[in-house]
Structure 1
């Protein structure tokens, strides 16, 4: 018995208001691609890191104070990125805890969504233990705040 093909479900993050997101343009390098000219899956994660560091630096955080660790990262690849396309990473803040925060991310290639991601970062002190976020960092993140999105797989 054959089934009627179903249209792909829209990713849950697609419904967010991305107009207020932090935006970072990423310079794609030839070495980020595979033999077919597609962006390698590991490069997506590197681009997320580049955008995250840029965002934290724009908060006024000195490089020596960028003491965060990634506790979790999930990436949903929705379309390919090819060498030569303009890559923009948009970031919103889904949750801010005592020492951790969660970003939701949309990666665009020539304006078309190519990946969605969620990352959880933990702020740490010089002793390498979780440390409370400063009031300044919390206030800065508030401008990018969105309601939590259910952790539902789009597939």
Structure 2
């Protein structure tokens, strides 16, 4: 006789890094009926679209515009932790995780009804008119400095 299987564990937000999310740029996402699939939750393909909206919103808020950002998306990672359903209040928090010579990495956290639901990491590469990588302008570093990610380690309470 086979032992009954135990229920699947509840989704864990531990797959979302403990970063300084309180300092992140926040973009509200308005869910639409078309965002939901037959399973009743937001379709996985919509997450990439939402991230594009969040990156554009973050760029505008930090003053990255025109010549500061001639970029292409080079990589996108998504970790789905908990489903998002129509009717929830959703926002994306974005932090700049890394700035290199020609590229930068954005870490993003999807939050629905104050529950972290997904984690994303995207890499954008600055390119010229021929789509050849080129160095980021010096000004770029100054613009993203307030959104730099860092580990958010809780401080120990002193007695």
Shorter chain as denominator, the TM-score bin is 0.7 to 0.9
Regions of 4+ moved over 6 Å:
1-8
User: Gapped runs of 5+ residues in structure 2?
Assistant: 152-159
Question: Match for residue 33 of structure 1?
Answer: 36
Q: TM-score, normalised to structure 1's length? A: 0.83
Mapped to 1, the partners of 2:19 and 2:145 lie a distance apart of: 16
Q: Displacement of 1:37 after TM fit?
A: 2.5
Q: TM-score, normalised to structure 2's length? A: 0.81
Number of corresponding residues:
147
1:112 equivalent among 111, 115, 118: 115
Mapped to 2, the partners of 1:6 and 1:130 lie a distance apart of: 44
Mapped to 2, the partners of 1:22 and 1:146 lie a distance apart of: 11
User: Gapped runs of 5+ residues in structure 1?
Assistant: 149-155
Greater C-alpha Rg: 2
Question: Match for residue 73 of structure 1?
Answer: 76
CA RMSD of aligned residues (A): 2.4
Mapped to 2, the partners of 1:62 and 1:6 lie a distance apart of: 44
Question: Match for residue 145 of structure 2?
Answer: 142
Q: Deviations over 1:130-149 (max 9, x none)?
A: 1211222211111111248x
Question: Match for residue 95 of structure 1?
Answer: 98
